[in-house]
Amino acid sequence: MMMLKVFVLGCWGHQVFTALGAGPDLETTEEKASAQCVLAKKKTRTLLTGRKEETEVSEYQARKARPAMTYFQDWSKGFIASRSNLHKTVTSPSVFIQEGEELVMTLMDALVNQKGCSRMVLAAQSWALVDHERTDGVDHMIFRKDNTTSKLQYIAKHMDEIIVADPPLECASQLQRESSSELKPETEAAEEVDGGPIVVLHPEDDKMVQDCKKLYEQTVDDTCNKTIKVTVLRAQREIIDGIEVDMDVEVMGPAGKKFQHAPSCFFEIYPESQDASLFQIPEALADTNPTKSEKRGMKATVRTTSDLCKADEENGEDVFLAEMPSMGYLGFYRGYEHIDDALPRMKVAMRHELPQDVDLRTKYPKCFQQGGKEVIRSQGKCGSCWAFAAASALMNNLCTSKEDSPLSFHSPTDRYEVSVQQIISCNNRKKGCQGANADDAHQAFSAHGIARERDRPYKCSDGSSLDHFDGLGSCKKWPWKGKCANDKVAEWIYDGAYRVDGERSMMTLLSEGHSFYVAMLVDLEFMRDDFTTKVYTGANPRGKKGGHAMTAIGYGVQDGVKYWLIQNSWGWWWNNNGVIKVQRGVNLNHVESRGPFYFRGRVKGASIRTVECTDSPQRLTRFRFAYCSHFKARNCEADTWYKEYLRISCPVLCNTCPETKAATPLPTPAPTPAPTPADTLTVCSWQFPHSGSMALCEDNTESWHCERDGHGPRVQCPDSHPIMCKSKSCGGGKDYCCEPDCTHYGGPRPCP
């Protein structure tokens, strides 16, 4: 549960300014530290134990920071860049270059048409344009609003289409069902759906976090005459009157000791006063050649709940925040949400009657040895859950594609695993222990194939998985103690990754033996509490939430609560042999909406699993009013900027639907001489690679020994000949060539 926030407007010299007024619950103090003014106010916070207590919040002298537009454009740049058509659209400048009232009127029309807003709602909110920039055909706008939780709104608009709204903006559907003549503006405004949601920020890459960190260091220097080094462990943002950034940090002073604190920075847009001494720009925050917008800037202040001048001497009073999760799956982080948009959506062919419960561990016992315990892995103190989720989902699908195939097993009791090291060492963005997205794993598989864990073992397993949110283990940077190599398994076929929509589609996939990648926000309740006998419902949230990725392996109902059965990567000792049940059907912490992602794979000899392929029924977001029906098949092949986008969105039109192929049979041996009764060949249920030091096959791969009826008679190379025969009754157990063409082994050699 988040703290109850109190916003203090500022301080000037030694005078206190507040819009709240003095009262019985308000204490105002005045401290002098290097001539800095400090405000103190009580606020309520909830501890991990559930107990509430009051603590004082101190605010320090304000400084000038970069303009709000800089931060909003930074958060939206990836999403806008992914819409590659924006800067390539050719049209007359008079069509979309708008200013002032015309620009606002066009936006209001878009809000009504795209978001379903009523004009009365918008009028009640009194949208006022306070900043506007135009870049590559995109209008970037910042508005102030009244009668809403979030009074600051950023909109990126291309022509008459809204492409980014931050905070997310959806008008209340309840209002749309009522007659506008019956609505009162005050009532409408109170129904806002999102209203400034709390979102997580990247602790290293985010510009506002970087500035908050520098501001905190500068404030300690100016106020306490101390130099500290700050490492941001995690950060989050909330938009109300301004933008508040809450950080959990590690502070190191001259003595080299490290302490943990949770400072906040409040960024207020366009302060009315421009007093030079108050809004002096720290060197670390200033730009060399500021633009007109940058000259306007924002007012930024630091807030703490502990003694600022003892930051390098003791832990802060709110040090309990340092345990809480942050890094992992980055799709929940502002500025990273767009990355997985590159993965196409796939509509699953629905089953009319679904079983009440599915557990892949019992449905495919050979693929999930020891009741599934054998396949549980541990990521260690490395934020690589995103790679483990993809690797485990893909390996589950490889195995269940043909459960009796030897290609998925090292031995009858040891399933192969997909190499996580190959994923983190071979993705283009060089992501690994600091979190990433599902698309990063897809890119690594597409470019380099699928490697075995035995060939490319994981190098970052040191430390406890439960501590990976608190910092990196021994793997600090790319290539994460490994190297990118082409060690793909030829018999493991990767058929791509796809987004899956909705509970019903997810259940259908699982009922047909498909495993998939899921992502959700987790907190300390999820991490630390015992859910071995109950379903996780998020009923007792504790601390901040961070993005985490896992693998779905089933669903069911327990004690009247529907659940997803999810395989984690925190070791078999976590919860119920490494597995947890998460409440289903309520999109708990976004588990049903952030993805899920289906990594399709099969072993050689298995069929591609069938999915329903349909063109998108929605308006294509890269065009103004276009649907798939507005295009011709030839557009899918033309050398245009939208070619790949069209092939993904309109697979029927473009004939790019995944095809179901007949199983590719494994090589069959050549005819063999009639064996003696002792040498009768039998079908192998299980096979494992030859354990000798020399490869027996001409392609330098190891041969395969049969494991049936003791040490059965057949040995076969995975892809090629020769086929070797083994007899327990002759030759002292030596291998004998039983193919007519066996020149590598001196010709055919029957048993004596």
Residue whose entry in the numeric block shows the structure tokens 């989720």 = 389
Could you tell me if 727 and 711 are in contact, meaning their C-beta atoms sit under 8 angstroms apart? no
Question: What is the predicted pLDDT for the residue at 306?
Answer: 87
More confident residue, 747 or 288: 288
d(CA 673, CA 611): 45
What is the rounded distance in angstroms from the CA atom of residue 659 to the CA atom of residue 651?
11
Architecture per CATH, domain 358-603, reads as: Alpha-Beta Complex (3.90)
pTM of the entire structure?
Answer: 0.68
Q: Which part of the chain is CATH 3.10.450?
A: 199-332
Which residues make Cβ contacts (< 8 Å) with residue 138, sequence separation at least 6?
80, 86, 156, 157, 158, 163
What would the mean pLDDT of 101-130 be, rounded to a whole number?
Answer: 83
Q: Which of 107-116, 160-169, 574-583, 600-609 has the highest mean pLDDT?
A: 574-583
Cα–Cα distance, 752 to 744 (Å, whole number): 20
Which of 25-34, 94-103, 740-749 ranks highest by mean pLDDT?
94-103
Over residues 378-391, the pLDDT tens digits come to 999 899 999 999 99
**pLDDT score at 617:** 60
C-beta pairs of 479-484 under 8 Å, 24+ apart in sequence: 479/424, 479/425, 479/430, 479/432, 480/382, 480/421, 480/424, 480/425, 480/432, 480/433, 482/421, 482/422, 482/424, 482/425, 482/456, 483/425, 484/422, 484/425, 484/426, 484/448
Q: Name the range with the highest mean pLDDT among 36-50, 68-82, 484-498.
A: 484-498
Q: What is the mean pLDDT of the chain?
A: 74
10 Å CB burial of residue 669 (0-12, 13-18, 19+) is: middle
- pLDDT tens digit sequence for 396-438: 999 999 999 999 999 999 999 999 999 999 999 999 998 999 9
- What number is the average pLDDT over the span 653-661? 66
Rounded CA-CA distance 445/301 in Å is 45
Task: CATH 3.90.70.10 in the chain: give the residue spans.
Answer: 358-603
Q: Considering the domain delimited by 199-332, tell me its CATH architecture.
A: Roll (3.10)
Q: Which contacts qualify for 140-145: CB closer than 8 Å, 24 or more apart? A: 140/69, 140/72, 140/73, 140/76, 141/103, 141/107, 142/68, 142/69, 142/72, 142/269, 144/269
Query: How far are the Cα atoms of 96, 297, 396, 417, 499 from residue 513, in angstroms, in the given order?
Result: 50, 55, 9, 17, 17
DSSP 8-state code for residue 734 = -
CA distances from 750 to 251, 680, 683, 704, 739 (A): 76, 13, 20, 20, 10
pLDDT of residue 553: 98
pLDDT at 46 over 50: no
The proportion of the chain whose per-residue pLDDT surpasses 70, expressed as a percent, equals 65
Among 51-55, 105-109, 360-364, the range with the most confident prediction by mean pLDDT is: 360-364
C-alpha distances in Å from residue 440, one per residue of 203, 328, 510, 551, 593 = 19, 13, 24, 16, 19
Q: What is the pLDDT of residues 534-569, one digit of tens each?
A: 999 999 888 767 889 999 999 999 999 999 999 999
Choose the most confident range, by mean pLDDT, from 204-218, 236-250, 283-297. 204-218
Tell which phi-psi region holds residue 305, choosing left (phi > 0), alpha (psi between -120 and 50) or beta.
Answer: alpha
DSSP secondary structure code for residue 640 in this structure: S
DSSP label of 586: S
Q: What is the pLDDT of residue 466?
A: 74
Q: Give the pLDDT of residue 288.
A: 52
pLDDT of the residue at 119? 85
| Burial (Cβ within 10 Å: 0-12, 13-18, ≥19) of residue 519 | buried
pLDDT higher than 70, residue 609? no
- Three-class DSSP category at 430: coil
Lowest mean pLDDT among 4-8, 102-106, 467-471: 4-8
Q: How far apart are CA 12 and CA 62, in angstroms?
A: 9
Question: Is the peptide bond between 479 and the residue preceding it cis, with omega within 30 degrees of 0?
Answer: yes
Q: What is residue 196's predicted lDDT score, i.e. its pLDDT? A: 60
Residues recorded for the chain: 752
Higher pLDDT, 27 or 62: 62
pLDDT 10s digits, 316-366: 875 544 344 446 899 888 888 888 877 877 878 777 789 999 999 999 999
Residue that has been written with the tokens 């670390």 in this structure: 284
Q: Name the least confident of 93-97, 372-376, 399-403, 631-635.
A: 93-97
Among candidates 37, 349, 46, 367, which has minimal Cα distance to 219? Answer: 37
What SS3 class is residue 252? strand
Query: pLDDT at residue 654 above 70?
Result: yes
User: How many other CB atoms are found less than 10 A from the CB of residue 641?
Assistant: 12
Say if residues 326 and 467 touch (Cβ distance below 8 Å).
no
pLDDT band with cut points at 50, 70 and 90 for residue 708: very low
Model pLDDT, residue 639: 72
Structure tokens given for 520: 């959700």
DSSP letter at 548 equals E
**Of 211-220, 298-307, 345-354, which range is least confident?**
345-354
Give the model's pLDDT for residue 596. 94
**DSSP character for 290?**
-
Residue 218 above 90 pLDDT? yes
Binned at pLDDT 50, 70 and 90, residue 742 comes out as: very low
The alpha-helical segments, DSSP class H, found in 349-401 are 360-363, 385-401
**CA 299, CA 278: separation in Å to the nearest integer?**
9
Q: What is the mean pLDDT of residues 261-289?
A: 59
Candidate ranges 11-20, 297-306, 682-691; pick with highest mean pLDDT: 297-306
Residue 683 confidence (pLDDT) above 90: no
Burial state string for 292-314 with b = 16 or more CB within 10 A and e = fewer than 16: ebeebbbbbbbbbbbbbebbbee
Bridge partners of residue 520, in order along the sequence: 548
Higher-scoring residue by pLDDT: 583, 344: 583
Both tokens of residue 638? 């033309």
Q: Which whole-number Å values give the CA distances from 63 to 347, 421, 475, in the listed order?
A: 52, 45, 37
pLDDT score for 556: 98
Q: d(Cα 483, Cα 425) in Å, to the nearest integer?
A: 6
Read off the pLDDT of each residue in 707-714 and give the average, rounded to a whole number: 36
Token output for 408: 């998925």
Which uninterrupted H or E stretch holds 12? strand 10-12
Taking the alpha carbons of 608, 611, 615, 621 in that order, is the dihedral positive or negative? negative
Indicate whether 521 pLDDT > 80.
yes
Nearest Cα to 524, choosing from 538, 514, 507?
A: 538
User: Above 80 in pLDDT, residue 108?
Assistant: yes
- Please, how many CA atoms are within 13 Å of residue 716, restricted to the half-sphere of its CB? 20
Mean pLDDT, range 224-228, rounded to an integer: 94
Integer Cα distance of 44 and 750 in angstroms? 86
CA angle 728, 730, 733 (to 5 degrees): 50
| Cα–Cα dist 264/209, whole Å | 10
What's the token pair of residue 238? 């909330």
State the distance between the two ends of the chain, measured CA to CA, in whole angstroms. Answer: 78
Report pLDDT for 436: 93
Three-state secondary structure readout of 324-355 = CCCCCEHHHECCCCCHHHHCCECECCCCCCCC
Helix or strand run (H / E) with residue 267: strand 264-269
Higher-pLDDT residue of 558 and 716 is 558
Of 275, 278, 203, the closest CA to residue 237 belongs to 203
pLDDT of residue 171: 66
